[in-house]
Amino acid sequence: MTQEDIHRLDGRTALVTGGAQGLGLGIVEELARQGAAVTIADLQVAKAQTEATRLCAAGFDVAAVSLDITQSAQVDDVFETLVRAKGRLDILVNNAGVGQHIAAVVDLSDAEWNRVIAATLTGAFYCCRAAGRIMERQEAGSIVSISSINGQNPAALVAAYNAAKAGVISLTRTLALELAAYGVRVNAVCPGPVYTEFNRTVMAERGKTLRLTEEQMIERIRASIPLGRWGQPEDIARAVVFLCSPASGWMTGEVLRVSGGLEGVSAAPPKQKRK
Ligand SMILES: NC(=O)c1ccc[n+]([C@@H]2O[C@H](COP(=O)([O-])OP(=O)(O)OC[C@H]3O[C@@H](n4cnc5c(N)ncnc54)[C@H](O)[C@@H]3O)[C@@H](O)[C@H]2O)c1
């Protein structure tokens, strides 16, 4: 194998959750560029289908399927249907997740806690379990889960999101141990700030609490990143594809921060006046 070949994924079958937009779409594109046949599994199936059609027209092998990762039976069904159709599943990227509406722990509702944990941690568990069963049978495969720098270093006012992303890291490391004997590798990537729809919402809410405009928030975050710029989806996608490829063949249970050097946001708020 040449140095170039070890990053190629020709003949591999991949599934990316939440691949209709943002980081997930960047990951889909990079996997496809390296030769994988990719299925986008997303709640937004029309958007996923539009992107799949666009990428197929560009010569890539990309399909779309409707999936809500919070629905356990639906997850099992989508994974087994895919394997029946394609014969195998080589790569799972657990990318789908939701942000939390800004709230201090003392103000956080049960509903918001449960919504974030369901989509950002439990959904990843359902997908890891379904893919793990298939990959264990195959005795091959690679799972990469998207955590966050918040999973390593929590930011104030998003406790449910921090806990979900820390949970994704723990799930990754546990599964890496359990599947190692089958030759299945399981790793996590912790992205720093990338200006997707997800981050636009979080920034707007944080800006309000600090009385900063959107532009001021964007600049404040940029200035806190050691490499001096926001991330792009392809920055994250390249790291994910590396962890899916034979180039990382002796890495499992690894947690890779891709954040321009930013370790965490912290953002401790000032004392609040309570009624
Ligand atoms: N953007 C960032 O700065 C950043 C930083 C760190 C981590 N992350 C993580 O990266 C991942 C992608 O983030 P993004 O910024 O691209 O977000 P995004 O909101 O732009 O995209 C998320 C995608 O996931 C899908 N999705 C949401 N809930 C789903 C469900 N229950 N079932 C199936 N699909 C679902 C959405 O339809 C959407 O297509 C998330 O896990 C996020 O927490 C993002």
Q: How confident is the model at residue 1 (pLDDT cuts 50, 70, 90)?
A: low
With cut-offs at 50, 70 and 90, classify the pLDDT of residue 272: confident
Ligand 1: does its nearest atom lie under 6 Å from the Cβ of 260? no
CB of 127 closer than 6 angstroms to any ligand 1 atom: no
Return the domain boundaries, the chain.
5-192+233-258
pLDDT at 2: 60
Beta bridge partners of 186: 143
Residue labelled with tokens 């298939």: 134
Looking at residue 4, its pLDDT comes to 65
- Structure pTM? 0.97
Mean pLDDT for the chain overall = 96
CATH 3.40.50.720 holds for 5-192+233-258? yes
Catalytic machinery residues: 161
Residue of 189, 143, 194, 199 whose CA lies nearest to 169: 189
Helix H, strand E, coil C: the string for the chain is CCCCHHHCCCCCEEEEECCCCHHHHHHHHHHHHCCCEEEEEECCHHHHHHHHHHHHHCCCCEEEEECCCCCHHHHHHHHHHHHHHHCCCCEEEECCCCCCCCECHHHCCHHHHHHHHHHHHHHHHHHHHHHHHHHHHHCCEEEEEECCHHHHCCCCCEHHHHHHHHHHHHHHHHHHHHHHHHCEEEEEEEECCECCHHHHHHHHHHHHHHCCCHHHHHHHHHHHCCCCCCECHHHHHHHHHHHHCHHHCCCCCCEEEECCCCCCCCCCCCCCCCC
CA atoms of 92 and 30, how far apart (whole Å) = 14
pLDDT at 211: 87
CB 195 near ligand 1, within 6 Å:
no
Ligand 1 centroid from CA 3, angstroms: 32
pLDDT in tens, 86-134: 999 999 999 999 999 999 999 999 999 999 999 999 999 999 999 999 9
For the chain, what percent of residues have pLDDT higher than 90? 89
